[in-house]
Structure 1
Amino acid sequence: MPTSPSDTLQRFYTAFSQLDHATMAECYAPEAEFDDEAFSLRGRDQVAGMWRMLCSATRKSGAAHWKLEFRDLHADGLQGRAHWEAHYTFSATGRRVHNIIDAEFTFNEAGLILRHRDRFSFWRWSRQALGLPGLLLGWSPSLKRQVRSTAANNLRKFLALPPA
C-alpha cells in the first residue's frame, strides 16, 4: 500500500528510536541503496541486514545508553531529508558516541526509500568511537578505508549467520 514519503520518514525514525529493525526494513524499496562513512550497500537485504546488525549489537551491549533524537523531517515530492543524533556505546570499543547525522533520501512512487545517504563528520565520530587512533588518524583516508573494510566484513559475517 503506498504511503507518503513524510509518513515513511516518521515511521523509519520512530522505529529506529525503538531499535525496531524489522519496521525500518519495511521502509525501503527492494532496490534500495544506502551510503554513509562506514557502509555502501545495495538492495533491501543488505540495508536491512545492516540495521538488524546495528540494532542487535546496541540491544546486546548498550541499550541502556541508546538514545535517538530526530527532527527536521522533510519530504518534498520524491526527495527528503532529516537530521538525527544518536547516543550509543560503540560495540567494538565500549566507548560512548554522540553522532550527529544529516540524511538525504530519494523515494519511489509508493513512498519507499530508494536512496538513503547519511553524512557525518568521520573524524568527530572516530575520535569518540576509537579514542586515540581516531584522534590522530580520523582525518586520514586510510583509517576510513579500514573502518569501511571492517564494517563490510562484520556485515558479511553477520548475514551468514542463521537469524536469531
Structure 2
Amino acid sequence: MTHDQLIKDFYSACNQRDYAFMQQAYHPKATFFDPVFQELNAQKVKAMWQMLLTASKDLRVECSNVHSNNASGSCRWDAWYTFSKTGRKVHNIIHAKFQFEHGLIIRHEDQFDLWRWSRQALGTSGLLLGWSDIVQGKVRATAKGSLDKFIAAGQ
C-alpha cells in the first residue's frame, strides 16, 4: 500500500468510526501531537482515537490534498461534529503531517487554530478568551483528563 493510500484509508476509517484500522496504521513507537492533546505515545494516540470515535454521534471527515513520498506525507482534513460538552457544532480544519517507518505512521502531527476551534466549541467564552493560555490550558487539561480516565477504565 502506498503512503497516499494509507492516509486516505486512515481518514476513511475515521469517517466510518473504525478506530481499530486507525490503531493498526500506527507504528508501535509512534508519536502524535496536536494543539489539544500535545505529545502522545502510541498507546495514548490509539486510545485517543478510540475514545473520540466511540463518543462521537455525528462525526464526518473529509481528507484532501494528500501528498507523500517514501518517508513522509501530508494532507488537509476537515472534521464536522457536535462538541459533546456544549452541544455546539464544530468545523475544524486540520493540516496533518506524517512520517512513516515500515509502511506505518511513526509520527503524526495535526495543526489547527485552537482559538478558532474554541470559538465554535465553547461559544462566548471561547470567542472572548479562547486565545488565552488559561482557556487553552483548561482545554488541554480537560482532554488529558478524559483520555487518562478512558485508558484507566480499560477502553
Give the TM-score taking structure 1 as reference length: 0.90
Among residues 47, 63, 67, which one is paired with 1:70 in the alignment? 63
Paired residue type of 1:35: F
Written as runs of structure 1 = structure 2, the 5 A alignment for 1:49-88 is 49-58=47-56, 62-63=57-58, 66-88=59-81
Give the SS at the match of 1:115.
strand
Residue aligning to 1:138: 130
Written as runs of structure 1 = structure 2, the 5 A alignment for 1:1-164 is 3-58=1-56, 62-63=57-58, 66-108=59-101, 110-163=102-155
Paired residue type of 2:66: L
Unaligned segments of structure 2, at least 5 residues: none
Indicate if the aligned counterparts of 1:31 and 1:42 stay in contact, CA closer than 8 A. no
Paired residue type of 1:28: Y
| Residue-by-residue CA offset, 1:90-116 (whole Å, 9 max, x unaligned) | 1111111000111011111x1111111
Q: After alignment, is 5-14 or 79-88 more displaced?
A: 5-14
Indicate if the aligned counterparts of 1:68 and 1:87 stay in contact, CA closer than 8 A. yes
1:5 positional shift? 1.8
* Residues in 2 aligned to 1:123 and 1:85: alpha-carbon distance in whole angstroms: 16
Indicate if the aligned counterparts of 2:8 and 2:63 stay in contact, CA closer than 8 A. no
CA RMSD of the aligned region, Å? 1.2
1:124 positional shift? 0.7
Paired residue type of 1:53: M
Unaligned segments of structure 1, at least 5 residues: none
Paired residue type of 2:41: G
Percent identical across equivalent pairs?
45
Give the TM-score taking structure 2 as reference length: 0.95
Paired residue type of 1:71: S
Paired residue type of 1:22: A
1:76 positional shift? 1.6
Q: How many residues align?
A: 155
